[in-house]
């Protein structure tokens, strides 16, 4: 299951992230077959998972990549790519609101390409670097992700 689910029994944070990637890829495929008018459920699910997944990576994974695995340049590039993806999601939202089918299809294709490329860099370069930092680092990452995720999903009185 994904890190966005309640079941976090497996303590390998890299596997959680890769599993999110599998779900995100599937959601993008599903979105590809829709029109702006009937894309609502697929689009909202994708946005929700992307927001949580990217928040975890931006607050925990990329900083760890920079400070623990020592690849600051790669970390900054990944931050930049998630920001670009946010802009693409926003444009897609606007195309949906205008019911602009051509812009919507082009936007889905652009977002899909951007995310697939980003995920490939993470899985082939960034994650192996973090894994090479050893089991203690991975275990700390797992704890940090669980805490961060509950802080985002818990209701707050503030």
Looking at the chain, list the stretches that DSSP marks H as alpha helix, in order from N- to C-terminal side.
Answer: 13-32, 40-56, 62-67, 72-98, 101-121, 127-131, 135-153
Cβ closer to Fe ion: 100 or 110? 110
Residue appearing with tokens 């299951």 = 1
Min CB(18)–Fe ion separation in Å: 8
Contact 29, 116 (CB under 8 A): no
Q: Count the site residues for Fe ion by CB under 5 A.
A: 1
Helices 72-98 and 101-121 pack at an angle, to 10 degrees, of 160
The residue among 71 and 122 lying less far from Fe ion, judged by its C-beta, is: 122
Cβ 52 to Fe ion shortest distance, Å:
11
- Span 90-149, contacts to Fe ion by CB under 5 A: 122
Least CB distance to Fe ion at residue 105 (A) = 24
Residues found near Fe ion in the complex (CB under 5 A): 122
């Amino acid at each position: 299951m994904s890190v966005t689910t309640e079941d976090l029994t497996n303590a390998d944070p890299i596997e959680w992230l890769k599993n999110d990637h599998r779900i995100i890829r599937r959601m993008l495929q599903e979105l590809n077959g829709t029109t702006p008018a009937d894309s609502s459920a697929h689009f909202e699910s994708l946005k929700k998972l992307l927001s949580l997944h990217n928040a975890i990576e931006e607050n925990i994974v990329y900083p760890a990549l920079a400070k623990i695995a020592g690849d600051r340049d790669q970390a900054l590039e990944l931050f930049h790519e998630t920001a670009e993806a946010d802009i693409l999601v926003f444009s897609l939202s606007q195309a949906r609101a205008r019911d602009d089918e051509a812009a919507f299809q082009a936007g889905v294709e652009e977002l899909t390409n951007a995310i697939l490329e980003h995920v490939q860099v993470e899985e082939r370069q960034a994650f192996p670097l973090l894994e090479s930092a050893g089991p203690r680092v991975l275990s700390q990452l797992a704890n940090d992700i669980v805490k961060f995720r509950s802080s985002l999903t818990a209701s707050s009185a503030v």
